[in-house]
Structures are given as structure tokens and as C-alpha cells.
Amino acid sequence: MAARVGLLLRALPLLLWGGLDAQLAERGGQELRREAEAFLEKYGYLKDQVPQDLTSTRFSNALREFQWVSQLPISGVLDTATLRQMTRPRCGVADTDSQAAWTKRISALFAGRLARMRRKKRFAKQGSKWYKQHLSYRLVNWPQHLPEPAVRGAVRAAFQLWSNVSALEFWEAPATVPADIRLTFFQGDHNDGLGNAFDGPGGALAHAFLPSRGEAHFDRDERWSLSRRRGRNLFVVLAHEIGHTLGLAHSPAPRALMAPYYKRLGRDALLSWDDVLAVQDLYG
């Protein structure tokens, strides 16, 4: 899967900038269609395994949902903007049901207290939250080129980001004590299934699992940095993946930390109103 989606990165510039003749462009378009199908399947827009005779309607509907989540014009057509969006670095967690979760969250803004209480109970039954407020974590390893104290500081700050706006508290567990949440850097296939194999620089930067598995995995081949301007800012990706380990799905709100695509560390607050609503829905 990672190899097929990776081909999209190599073929896209040729199609965008006219570097293919007509016959090769037609062949390239067919290949891009297949790789777009693989991308949509990987990230939850084609719910079942892609059949050989995938209908145009089903493919178009999947594109529409992807375009909605990605804040693109909703056309159902595999256009240049949609192809470019598929090549952007992002979280490896699927976007499944992000639209439905976001719609419920927005509806809760206009609901009364009783309706919100009922919604919390329904959400809790899904088993996608921790049933305690004090959680431990462990940094299993870290990028070799970054100093350990600085990485540990980024991890503490990423957890603090979520505890600042919720009833959660986090503490770093010593090596002799089991931890609720474990943060680990891996390379390539790391026994998570082929769909979760890391693909080198770009593409999927990291992925995580909902409670109570408590694991977040990061691609060791990325150019991780603690800078605002160089490489992939580790603090931002840590904070996003920690959100998943707490039970948060992806958000279609463009400024949200839990939006699926990588965002640079800027001067504005990292958490958006939608991130705060999501974590408070689960933990108060």
C-alpha cells in the first residue's frame, strides 16, 4: 500500500507540469486513478477493500468526502488540487467517521445540558476514551540527532497542551513501571500491518491508536526538528498523535491540531476551538 501511494508522489509533478506526452499522460492518468483509490482506501474513504471494478459513482463519492474533510471544492473529480492534497505530509491514522464526529460536536454547541449529557454517555459506550484522569506515559526512544533532554521537554509540553484544557493529568513513568501511553520511533514495516508501514520522508509521518492500546508510532526516517522553520516539528506531531491516544479522531476544521495534515508551528495557539471541544467532550 505504501509503495502504491508513494508512486503518486513521483507521477504527480509530471502530470501537473505537462512533462508527459498524450499517450503517456493517459497511462499516467490511469495509474494515478489506481493510486488515488489506494490512498482513499488507506485513509478510510473507501470503506471496503477496493474491487477490481470500482464504480465511478463510488469513487466520486469517496473523492467528495475527502475533498470536504480537506477543505477543497467538492467536485468528486480527481483534479489537480485533490491530487496535490494527497501528496501532503500527514498523519497515518484514517479519517474514518471524522465528518460524523465533527457534525455531532457542532450540534452539541447548540444543545442543552441534558442533550450534552446524553451525548457523552453515548460516546463513552464506544470504548474510545480512558476511564481515568491520571495517565502515565513513556518515551521509548527518540531521533538520534536530537538531544534527549530537548525531546523529553517537547513530550512534556505536548501532554501539557491537552491537560491545560481538560481534567486530564499526565506523568512520565519510570522504566520499571508499565505506562498507559508509549511513544516509539520506528522505520518502515514495524509489525503494525502493511497499511501502517512507514514510507520514508514525507507521506505518513506518524500514527497512533485509540484507548486503551495507548501507543503512538513515529517515522524514524523523517527529518525531525524542534525548530519552527526546519524539518518536521516534532512537538506539533507529538501533540497530534497524543490526541489520538486520548480518543480524538481527525477534525475537518482547517486550523485544528487534529486536522489530518501536518501544520507548521506558528505564533498562534496550537489548539483550536474544535480541539478543545473534542477533548472536553470526553474528559470534561
Concatenating the DSSP letter of every residue in the chain gives -HHHHHHHHHHHHHHHTT-S-HHHHHHHHHHHHHHHHHHHHHTTSS-SPPPTT--HHHHHHHHHHHHHHTT----SS--HHHHHHHTS-EESS--TTHHHHHHHHHHHHTS-HHHHHHHHHHHHTTT-S-S-SEEEEEE----TTS-HHHHHHHHHHHHHHHHTTSS-EEEEPPTTS--SEEEEEE-S--SS-GGG---SSSSEEEEE--TTS-EEEEETTS-EESSSSSSEEHHHHHHHHHHHHTT------TT-TTSSB-----SS-SS-HHHHHHHHHHH-
Q: Cβ neighbours of residue 128 under 8 Å, at least 6 residues apart? A: 210, 211, 247, 282
pLDDT at 131 over 70: yes
Predicted local confidence at residue 74, as pLDDT: 93
pLDDT of the residue at 283: 92
Asked whether 35 and 11 are in contact (CB, 8 A), the reply is yes
For residue 116, is pLDDT > 60? Answer: no
Inter-residue contact 277 to 259 (CB < 8 Å): no
pLDDT higher than threshold 60 for residue 126? no
Closest C-alpha among 143, 138, 249 to residue 201: 143
Question: Does pLDDT of 100 surpass 80?
Answer: no
Please list the active-site residues: 241
Q: Which among 187, 173, 179 has a CA at the least distance from the CA of 215?
A: 179
The pLDDT value given to residue 13 = 54
Q: Could you tell me if 259 and 251 are in contact, meaning their C-beta atoms sit under 8 angstroms apart? A: yes
Q: Please indicate, yes or no, whether the overall pTM of this predicted structure exceeds 0.75.
A: yes
Each residue's pLDDT tens digit, 252-268:
887 899 999 998 887 66
C-alpha–C-alpha distance, residues 52 and 170, integer Å: 47
pLDDT score for 199: 81
* φ and ψ of 17, to 5 deg: -105, 15
Q: How confident is the model at residue 90 (pLDDT cuts 50, 70, 90)?
A: very high
pLDDT at 3: 47
Q: Confidence band (pLDDT; 50, 70, 90) for 123?
A: very low
pLDDT of residue 122: 37
What is the rounded average pLDDT for all residues in the chain? 82
Q: What is the pLDDT of residue 234?
A: 95
pLDDT of residue 125: 36
Task: Go through the domains of the chain in sequence order and give each one's CATH number.
Answer: 2-87 (no CATH), 98-283 (3.40.390.10)
